[in-house]
Structure 1
């Protein structure tokens, strides 16, 4: 039994308790006599069926149920506050609000609206621009950052193809593919298609790729392609893999790429000092790291800019908000010492075909040096 199965069982245990009382209240409102034993048994059976839908924590059913129950809890709290305020003021208002509350439709309606928005949001990709200046000697560069496409899974592949057409109008100097371009649910054919599509982006200095935590399909025993097939598909489309290594893009710009932080114990991960050994620190140094990790280390080693993805900006509210509160670099622009960090929300989401927090994006970085 894996960790996700244990999580599913624990979640189902919590859900069945709350769902029982939630469903009991709704049935009573609609005229079912809940003092009868048969009615309570029926209520318990419905609650058990709802809880069973949560055994797979990554299913859409679980997502819908959790939204409804979470919103129901919020409604409970709001109604408790309301009753304290209006109990002795206007009985008619209290009666109307009580009817709306007990019918149980509010959480369902709000969930439907939220997930409809989330589905729409997942299907629309925006361009996000950052202007980055440096006192180092540096010409102007335009760089695209594309992360977390999870190609061939929850988003229509035509959306990426359209984005590539847009990117080919940008006059790009370079493209950075920030990992999780493909994943466990990507077929071999779709994996090959993903890199063929991305390899079609026109640049002056090339396309560079770093591994994410999903690309090599480490979370499944039923892989659809091998590491060798993945490498071949990437390199066949003239995309350079940066795995704890760096390249001199020009006489003033260096791009380093790091092995994924999460799987460092399996694949190894060099320190930034080791990676940049022999590099000219007077160059402007960009580091691509799938996860926004070890930014402080990068700063101490003279990295000027780190670009990352992985977080999806939370994807499902309030995950991103909670991440920010715990100090995680969740989305946007940060400063760690002398190193600027830009975290993309990703081209799509993961697991669920909904995004109720953040947006889908590709990033355009405009670099300008002031030290000419």
Structure 2
């Protein structure tokens, strides 16, 4: 809880700083246009009201967090532009104008955020090729996480993405949490589950809960699980499945059930059967925060989401630095075991990905043949 309070305070402070910087810039622009050093109280109040009104419109249309992101980018670029033009003016002994830095700051913020919008709303394909010394049939898995249904696409958009993933001809599909969002409607949930029911990978579709999947909404976690099961999806919560000889899928209860709600999840060493080290064990764990435990239990591969790939630059590695996750994005190895963290195919409240991109992941595993 303490970390979330700290994050909230930080967001409030940077929002106030961004609003101050932009109000200051607008007032300086207005003063330059009027050719005055000081503005009347009416002009000051009007300029500040205009800035706050724009912020309010963005907050109402895109959510407050996105208004904060937009204003912070503009404020930072405007500050840097003013700083650079001020230094140039000092060196050239010529007072710089106010308009050009403002225009350049706006163009820079618009360009970065436009790219961030594109990267959040367009789903790329990422592939990893792994090998194992265990004698198993070659596996081809499609892994996706952080669908947050209804945020950047609805059930129809999700079905279109599933059709693209189906062309990968996966042996199985892994959905690693945060399938729905707080704002997901029951209708979207049901239609998306039906879309999954039309995908028939030979070894099945497997799902584990994420922290948002249990948030309050028009339907509960039990109804979500029931809707998925009715459409052929195997829901795992501290449970094991064996989709093929020599292959295990272990679905873990999400860490939020322990960290935020005082619940319990089974230690992986107890969850995996005694002969799991002789088989290829894949662990589905929404949050990438138990790498040492996973490696010690002898699992071969762990797949996670949750981090959104770091989401925003320059805060990509904040979770790692704070010690709440063991990795932010990509493929890594711990204790000789493979770990893959995806940036997810969608977003939560934030509509921009300036530090990463949305993706689904194809994982190919080649077993020993001799």
**TM bucket, shorter chain:** 0.7 to 0.9
Given candidates 12, 17, 24, the residue that maps to 1:14 is 17
Given candidates 296, 302, 305, the residue that maps to 1:306 is 302
Query: Which residue in the other structure is 2:265 paired with?
Result: 269
| Aligned counterparts of 1:79 and 1:174: Cα–Cα separation in 2 | 56
Query: Which residue in the other structure is 1:225 paired with?
Result: 219
Verify the 8 A CA contact 2:144 2:361 in the aligned structure 1: yes
| Aligned counterparts of 1:171 and 1:80: Cα–Cα separation in 2 | 58
Query: Which residue in the other structure is 1:87 paired with?
Result: 92
- State the aligned residue count: 359
User: How far 1:53 sits from its partner (Å)?
Assistant: 7.1
Query: After alignment, is 224-233 or 205-214 more displaced?
Result: 224-233
Residues 121-270 of structure 1 mapped to structure 2, 5 A cutoff: 121-217=119-215, 220=216, 223-265=217-259, 266=261, 267-270=263-266
| Aligned counterparts of 1:141 and 1:208: Cα–Cα separation in 2 | 15
1:68 aligns with 2:94: no
| Aligned counterparts of 2:39 and 2:75: Cα–Cα separation in 1 | 25
Q: Where in structure 1 are there 5+ consecutive unaligned residues?
A: none
Aligned-pair Cα RMSD in Å: 2.8
| Aligned counterparts of 2:87 and 2:255: Cα–Cα separation in 1 | 46
Change (3 A) 1:269 1:108: same
Change (3 A) 1:333 1:6: closer
1:28 aligns with 2:56: no
Give 1 or 2: higher helix fraction: 2
User: How far 1:209 sits from its partner (Å)?
Assistant: 0.4
| Aligned counterparts of 2:365 and 2:199: Cα–Cα separation in 1 | 19
TM-score (norm 2): 0.86
Verify the 8 A CA contact 2:59 2:66 in the aligned structure 1: no
User: How far 1:198 sits from its partner (Å)?
Assistant: 2.0
For each residue in 1:230-263, what CA deviation from the matched residue of structure 2 results, as whole angstroms up to 9, or x when unmatched?
Answer: 1210110111111112122222111111111123
| Aligned counterparts of 1:107 and 1:354: Cα–Cα separation in 2 | 18
Verify the 8 A CA contact 2:292 2:335 in the aligned structure 1: yes
Verify the 8 A CA contact 2:154 2:188 in the aligned structure 1: no
For each residue in 1:262-290, what CA deviation from the matched residue of structure 2 results, as whole angstroms up to 9, or x when unmatched?
Answer: 23243422211121143431111110111
Change (3 A) 1:52 1:163: closer
Q: Where in structure 2 are there 5+ consecutive unaligned residues?
A: none
| Aligned counterparts of 1:5 and 1:52: Cα–Cα separation in 2 | 19
Tell me, what secondary structure is at the counterpart of 1:281? helix
Change (3 A) 1:140 1:5: closer
For each residue in 1:103-152, what CA deviation from the matched residue of structure 2 results, as whole angstroms up to 9, or x when unmatched?
Answer: x2222222222232233333321221110001222221111101111112
